[in-house]
Structure 1
Amino acid sequence: MPRIDYYFATVSPYTYLAGTRLEEVAAKHGAEIAYKPLDVIALFGRTGGTPPGQRHENHQVWRLQEMRRQAKKLGMPINLKPAHWPTNPAPSSYAVIAAIHDGSGDVGALVHGLCRACWAEECDIAQDDVIRDCLSAAGFDPALSDKGMLAGAEEYARNLEEAVAAGAFGAPFYVVGDERFWGQDRIADLDLHLAGDL
């Protein structure tokens, strides 16, 4: 069974725009997804990237245009300047980690629900009530938001180290063996790779 190491950030607009296409591709090929939430700003710092707010104005203008275009192509609502962004990604990431270990619901739906809450629903995904609602909607016990905080923090930090070692430098980032795919617009290439056509 192929394994996809999926490095993502719950506050990333491009993780949001990935939707559930990764899960669809994985199901098609019988692949396992290893969900690895991480601090994407720390990843930028470790791999030569620049946080969005510190980028040159030219890059910032392009970023907003690209987000709008990609969202329109995908038929997904998006608020280009959400009221609660940037926000602390750690609480939602710890909840995802707790959900992974719990295994009773749909992790992909949880990740997408958290990203959608940030980028389309004007919710602060650092807030416990928002996290609990997303957990519940994805089939998990909302009380998971209060469990395993220390273990979650340790795994969250470990995911960053693993991402750097695996060659990741942004989010979403998909790794299959030695093959690396950066961005939601490369899911089709990941699909072709898993099919043996790329």
Structure 2
Amino acid sequence: MAHIDYFFSTISPFSYFAGTRLEEIAAKHGASIAYKPFDIIALFGRTGGVPPGQRHPNRQAYRLQEIERAAKKTGLPVNIKPAHFPTNPAPSSYAVIAAQKAGGGDMGRLVHGLLAACWAQDMDIAEDAVIKACLSEAGFDPSLADTGLLAGAETYPANLEEAVEKGVFGAPTYVVDSGQVFWGNDRLDDLDAHLAGKL
């Protein structure tokens, strides 16, 4: 059975535009998924990237066009300049880590719910109430937002180190146990084809 390490940031617009397609593709091929939220700003510094707000105006303008086009292609609503971006992604990431460890809910729904809260609903996903609501809506115990803090604080930086080690430089990135790396929500079709043995 194939396995996918899913490296993402809970404040990444392109992780948001992935929707739940990863989960659909994994189910289609009987693949397992390990959710690995990480600090994308730290990753940029480690791999030669620049945070969006520090990029040349041409790159910033192009990024906004790409977000608008992605919204049209995916049919997902978006606020290209959300009220709470950037926000601290650590608390929501800790909740994802805790939920994956606890089990019993829908991980794809949780991750997408957090991303949608940021990019479509103008909520601050660093706030406890928002995180707990997303946990609850995905079938998890909302108290994981509190009880998972220690494990999250340990795993979150470890995910960054693993991301760098496995060749990740942006989000979302899907790393298959075959060694193949797929960067971007627009590479999900390639991931699907790879798992089917066609690419």
TM-score by length of 1: 0.99
Out of 141-150 and 163-172, give the one that drifted further: 141-150
Q: Distance in 2 between matches of 1:166 and 1:34?
A: 14
Q: Which residue of 1 aligns with 2:72?
A: 72
Query: Residue 182 of structure 1 corresponds to which residue in structure 2?
Result: 183
Within 1, Cα distance between the matches of 2:50 and 2:174? 20
Q: Which amino acid aligns with 1:191?
A: D
**How do 1:43-192 residues align onto structure 2 when only pairs under 5 Å count?**
43-176=43-176, 177-192=178-193
Measure, in 1, the Cα distance between the counterparts of 2:114 and 2:148.
19
What CA deviation, in whole Å up to 9, does each residue of 1:136-163 have, x standing for no partner? Answer: 0000011110012121111000000000
Distance in 2, matches of 1:96 and 1:2, equals 22
Secondary structure of the 2:143 match is: helix
Distance 2:75 2:179 in 1: 32
Q: Which whole-Å CA distance do the structure 1 matches of 2:184 and 2:98 have between them? A: 25
SS at match of 1:50: coil
Post-superposition offset of 1:99 = 0.1
Displacement after TM superposition at 1:78 (Å): 0.2
Distance of 1:62 and 1:108 partners within structure 2: 28
Deviations 1:125-144 (A, max 9, x none): 00000000000000001111
Deviation at 1:187, TM superposition (A): 0.3
Q: Which runs of 5+ in 1 are unaligned?
A: none
> CA-to-partner distance for each residue in 1:69-97, whole Å, 9 max, x for gaps?
01111111000000000000000000000
TM-score by length of 2: 0.99
What is the root-mean-square deviation of aligned Cα atoms in Å? 0.5
Distance in structure 2 (CA, Å) of the matches to 1:108 and 1:160: 20
Q: 1:171: how far off?
A: 0.4
What residue identity is the alignment partner of 2:89? P
Unaligned runs of 5+ in 2: none
Taking the aligned partners of 2:109 and 2:166, their CA distance within structure 1 comes to 25
